[in-house]
Amino acid sequence: MARNVTRDLTQGSPMKLLLGFAIPLLGGFLFQQLYSFVDTLIVGVYLGYDKLGAVGSTGSLNFMINGFCMGICSGFSLPIAQAFGAKQEGEMRRFVMHAVYLCAVISVAMGLVTGVFAPQLLDMLGTRPDLRANAIAYIRPVFFAIPATVMYNMAAGVMRSLGDGRTPMIAIVIAALLNIALDLLFIIQFQMGVAGAAWATVISQLVSGLWCVWVIRRKFTVLRMQKEDLRWRVPFARRLLTMGIPFGLQYSITAIGSLTVTAAVNGISTEAVSAVTAAGKLSMLFCIVFDALASAMATFAGQNVGAKKLDRIGQGLKAASLVGCIYCALAFVVIFFFGRDLVSLFVRADDPATLDTVLNMAHQFLIVNSALYIPLLFVNIVRFTIQGVGFTTVAMTAGVMELIGRAGVALLLVPFFGFDAAVWANPAAWLLACGFLFPCYCTVMKWLRNRLRLTGQTIQSPKEYSAATKGAK
């Protein structure tokens, strides 16, 4: 086994391990956000706020489609982490191989369907007529390139499952720098408009995916396939789909809630769309800490449930909560005092009054959302912990709660109170999801402890696992 590449999270201080694993993840997520950050910055500054609004109007749809694919990759990585924690290397390799088969089929099908029907999907959202053409020009290349996005996310998910967060981070750093160069080349030099931003992102993601695959083949000796690992086995595919599809649907359900908000904001004004776009991009930059902690908890929980060390899962969750709450307080202070100046990096308008309106609306959005970052923190780390131990369907239901929160605000409040109500859509979703996730976590851990006490097992063969978890849920 390549000990310098993989990392065992079942031994040692949970706080030290989580920080050591989450920091490279944070670096990777930070540079991953540079894809959208640089796109937004260059589009807003060089092409104008209307083009920024066009790119922003695709955000929820992009998250729903690509989020589903990325969620499947994350779900596929959980059995791999559990098998690694249980020291079952043959089973781990077979899960990896079946994940490759399934990802190839799913990503090609999704890319073709969404790329072809992108205009119809945007029309279903009620995209504003003045934004429609540029929105199509941006989102179509992104959809057709879904296989490239899936290749990176699956390869990165496999490496993270084995405790390596550093290699995916390096891949993203390389891709982000390439993305910046291509954005400047395609948009400024070649005058390709919003399509240039899309192609810059697509090419960069393809490079990062290919690099991760190359590293896996070269350095992860534990993943060198044997002849018996390549044979198709239905139980392995079934378990991967049982874990992956609920994970993917969770992202899509969350995105559907965001789509209702997008549709509601589309009905307010172009300034409102641009404000939400710019504020959303900056907010995502602040929220990558939650993503890093959540991904670390998923791998940490997966490896430790495989090793039958349930007490360590709770210890890890407490450590992640402490680090996250300190960060939430700091993030709110920064956004409250400097949020308007930061969001001004994304927006350009010829009319000073329009610019001032967009900046004020964006700052309002950021203040309200950042004031409730602590519920968002718990939505992430608790949900990913539940998913990490294998209960993806239970965690998916939290996405339904988020959908109810966002859709309720968008459909019931925004028509009457406009933008002042729209800024509360995300916080409402986070609070409802927290109310569901905390009792679910207690129930799941109790079930696992009872199973360990009665049978000595917390993880089974693919066939047994499916039946056992179905009965438990």
| In a domain? residue 48 | yes
Quick one: 234 exposed, middle or buried, by C-beta within 10 A (0-12, 13-18, 19+)? exposed
> Which region, left, alpha or beta, applies to residue 385 given φ > 0 means left and ψ of -120 to 50 means alpha?
alpha
Range of 178's domain?
A: 18-472
Question: Residues 167-197: pLDDT tens digits?
Answer: 888 888 888 889 889 988 998 889 898 899 8
Give the per-residue pLDDT at 461: 40
SS3 letters for 37-51?
Answer: HHHHHHHHHHHCHHH
Q: Report the share of the chain in percent with pLDDT over 90.
A: 40
| pTM score, whole prediction | 0.75
| In a domain? residue 8 | no
Rounded Cα distance between 374 and 327, Å, is 9
| In a domain? residue 5 | no
Q: What band does 457 get if pLDDT is binned at 50, 70 and 90?
A: low
| In a domain? residue 7 | no
Mean pLDDT on 432-449: 92
Rounded Cα distance between 247 and 433, Å, is 15
How many domains in the chain?
Answer: 1
Mean pLDDT on 22-29: 80
Mean pLDDT on 285-296: 90
Give the per-residue pLDDT at 472: 41
Task: Read off the tokens for 81.
Answer: 């982490």
Task: Read off the tokens for 52.
Answer: 């920024």
> Mean pLDDT across the chain, nearest whole number?
86
Question: Please, what is the Cα angle at 160 between 279 and 14, to 5 degrees?
Answer: 90
Q: What band does 253 get if pLDDT is binned at 50, 70 and 90?
A: confident
Cα 294 to Cα 270, 378, 383: the distances in Å are 34, 9, 8
The torsion angles phi and psi of 28, rounded to 5 degrees, stand at -65, -45
Give the per-residue pLDDT at 78: 85
Mean pLDDT on 265-294: 86
| In a domain? residue 402 | yes
Mean pLDDT on 364-386: 95
Rounded Cα distance between 100 and 76, Å, is 10
Q: What band does 458 get if pLDDT is binned at 50, 70 and 90?
A: low
| In a domain? residue 4 | no
Q: What band does 316 get if pLDDT is binned at 50, 70 and 90?
A: very high
Give the per-residue pLDDT at 131: 87
pLDDT at 470 over 60: no
Rounded Cα distance between 255 and 76, Å, is 20
Give the per-residue pLDDT at 348: 67
Give the HSE-up count for residue 235: Cα atoms under 13 Å, Cβ half-sphere. 10
pLDDT at 5 over 70: no
Give the per-residue pLDDT at 469: 43
| In a domain? residue 12 | no
Question: Residues 134-169: pLDDT tens digits?
Answer: 999 999 999 999 999 999 999 998 998 888 888 888
| In a domain? residue 392 | yes
pLDDT at 258 over 80: no
